[in-house]
Amino acid sequence: MTYPDPTVFGHDPWWLILAKALGVFAFLLLTVLVAILAERKILGRMQLRYGPNRVGPYGLLQSLADGVKLALKEGLTPAGVDKPIYLMAPVIAVIPAILAFAVIPMGPVVSVFGHRTPLQLTDLSVAVLYVLAVTSIGVYGIVLAGWSSGSTYPLLGGLRSSAQVVSYEIAMALSFAAVFLYAGTMSTSGIVAAQTHTWFVFLLLPSFLVYVTAMVGETNRAPFDLPEAEGELVGGFHTEYSSLKFAMFMLAEYVNMTTVSALATTMFLGGWHAVWPISLIPGANTGWWPLIWFVAKVWAFLFFYMWLRATLPRLRYDQFMALGWKLLIPLSLTWIMVVALAHTLRSGGAAPWTTAVLYVGFFLAVIGLAALWNRHRRARRHRRAPNPLASTGFPVPPLPPRSEETTRV
């Protein structure tokens, strides 16, 4: 296999750069269309009902029909909005989601009409930080949409989204620190090359679990879809949007899902490397074959998104914030210290078993602290709630005393 050298980027002819950019855009657009249809089909099966089955054979044209319907609907603009910002918010939400995919490696170096080029638009020495920075800009679209709508519920949805991104962006960035220590680089192609023999999901399992949780919160998906909670905020930040402007918010959501799934594949699942035992086949990681393995891994994460939506109820806002600040961030900081200590010992010539002891000790400490916290929480709840109905955690008034007549009856 041929890994791209950072020096090969920026030397492609203009037509090849344009073709790769259009290919990335077409891949994201097609993935969104298929993901919307697949989600409705999967949710239907998980809920013991049929999904879309009317438009086209087996309902395969449902996403296309929905897109045409949204394009032909009348675009309404409420009277009290801040019109320039109101119109710009959907654009601000979509563009960063697409730009973040520019540094995702989708395959090794291949030959395109005689030109040797990597299946990646470009790469940077700080490519992962570029992805974090660009995806953080996308939240401005949600915040500005809620503020410019001139309505209460969209404003609350925008405020929730800003708090959500601040909380889970920190945990997501901390989960990458251990990857940087092992790979020795922030370049996405370099991180994929560092996982030639062992994927980081096996070496850095806590970082992977923190990232998977943070990426669901980052993309406002169930059970973390608090900025658009229809039971509380009507529709959240996009309540006052219709037609193509509403469609652009949905496009941004699914493109963000694809981007963070591709980033998880790159950082922890070996990128475009084939899964064992397919990797044992000669030529499995050369040519255009790795593009298939990459797309399959991305779709595994997209299925995980859909599975969560069909399975878990929405969290309360206090539960959501406590998960980010009280669990994910402290866990990430502790794990980074463990990985840094293990890396230092290994670089100093320490025995391999010392790293294993550190990792086992970390897992045992986490399990022990979780057990103690659960025991403490149960004891505190028991002291606070003598009423058995109050053990659910909701404010329940005390039961009236039972009279003798009631007892006899």
Query: Using the 8-state DSSP alphabet, how is residue 326 labeled?
Result: I
Query: Using the 8-state DSSP alphabet, how is residue 111 labeled?
Result: E
pLDDT in tens, 297-314: 999 999 999 999 989 888
pLDDT in tens, 263-280: 999 999 999 999 988 888
The strand pairing partners of 275, in sequence order, are none
pLDDT in tens, 48-100: 888 888 888 988 999 989 989 988 888 888 888 888 999 999 999 899 989 99
Smallest CA-to-CA distance from 207 within 365, 338, 361 is with 338
Residue 306 identity: M
Query: Is 257 in contact with 221 (CB distance < 8 Å)?
Result: yes
pTM (predicted TM-score):
0.86
Distances (CA, A) of 85 to 89, 154, 177, 274: 6, 14, 36, 45
pLDDT at site 243 = 87
Distances (CA, A) of 389 to 18, 80, 342, 393: 64, 46, 48, 9
Long-range contact set of residues 257-260: C-beta below 8 Å, sequence gap at least 24: 257/35, 257/219, 257/221, 257/302, 257/305, 258/28, 258/31, 258/32, 258/35, 258/101, 258/298, 258/302, 259/97, 259/100, 259/101, 259/104, 259/131, 259/135, 260/135, 260/215, 260/218, 260/219, 260/301
Confidence of residue 20 (pLDDT cuts 50, 70, 90): very high
Q: Hey, which bits of 68-128 come out as E strands?
A: 109-112, 115-118
- Tell me the average pLDDT of the chain: 85
Q: What are phi and psi of 79, to 5 degrees?
A: -70, -30
pLDDT at site 384 = 63
Smallest CA-to-CA distance from 298 within 252, 343, 265 is with 265
Number of Cβ within a 10 Å radius of residue 398: 10
Please give the average per-residue pLDDT across 105-126, as a whole number: 88
Q: What are phi and psi of 110, to 5 degrees?
A: -130, 175
Query: What percent of the chain is modeled with pLDDT above 90?
Result: 30
Residue 185 has pLDDT above 70, yes or no: yes
β-strand pairing of 115-118 with 109-112:
antiparallel
Per DSSP, the three-state class of 285 is: coil
pLDDT at site 28 = 95
Confidence of residue 320 (pLDDT cuts 50, 70, 90): confident
Residue 3 has pLDDT above 70, yes or no: no
